[in-house]
Structure 1
Amino acid sequence: MKIKYNRVSTLQQTGLRFYADKESYDKILLDKVSGSMPFKERPQAKELIKLIEKGLVEDLIVEEFSRLGRNTGDVINTIEWLDENGVNVIVRNLGLQSRPNGNKNPVWKIISTVMSSLYEMELENIKERTLAGRMMYVQNGGQLGRPKGSKENNAEFLKKKSSITALNCLKKGLTVREIAKIADISTATVIKIKKLSS
């Protein structure tokens, strides 16, 4: 099978940019999770893993290394696992393959390590810029959080879509950070949901 794996960081992102790819695939998978979430813990990646373990996947196509993750160690472990299972990983933006024509690519390991390190560094830069932007917003009189005067009782709060998503993830035993990323809410909100539901 030839499978395309896409990932976007938040639930609000649609992944429409991937439709520019007109190639034909046996299956297209899209995860809406942070790149810092380990590959093997992602919902659609789990489906992919099952297919790989059955020996059904020959080619795995991603747009760029950051779609596999933004944690160098996790990306390297994932790539090694894919290689052990005979999967040819194709990174479209680099025109690079791990096993072209079934033969190991001698530069694959070097390039994949460097690129995954760069994407991890990019994630840290994004976090720093976001934090600096929030600090500037507050310094200039802006307020973070819910608007003053808004009221919502606990029952209404737990009926919100993000709260329901978080509750479902709590039942699955995911960590607070993982749930925050999946539900696109703060860790404090996840803790609040956890307390209110117990």
Structure 2
Amino acid sequence: MDEEGHPSLLAPIMIATLSTCAQLERDNISFRLQSGRKRYIENGGKLGRKVGSVKTEEQMKAEYREVISLLRKGYSIRDVAKFSGKEVSTAQRVKRLLKVQLQQ
């Protein structure tokens, strides 16, 4: 603001300059992250989940039989989680698996 309380004529220029600096910094951070990942992979590193950390459909069916049984009886997700001692997210994941299998 100037002495009379009006917006300064330099304010838009300053804002545009600061915005450009912030964008350059974001681009620089992204470049450094990508180059670090690339170097890690070149040196034999592996990104992502470890092999075997994701359960197959058969493993999930075997481990969560009780959850599947309760879901087929029509219980709600929260009730299934409470009765089976599992987390709500686990019950949702199993329910999603059942829906996919029913559609096939």
Instruction: Compute the TM-score of the two structures, normalised by the length of structure 1.
Output: 0.27
Bigger proportion of residues as helix: 2
**Which protein has the larger Cα radius of gyration, Structure 1 or Structure 2?**
2
Greater RCO (CA < 8 Å, at least 6 residues apart): 1
Instruction: Compute the TM-score of the two structures, normalised by the length of structure 2.
Output: 0.48
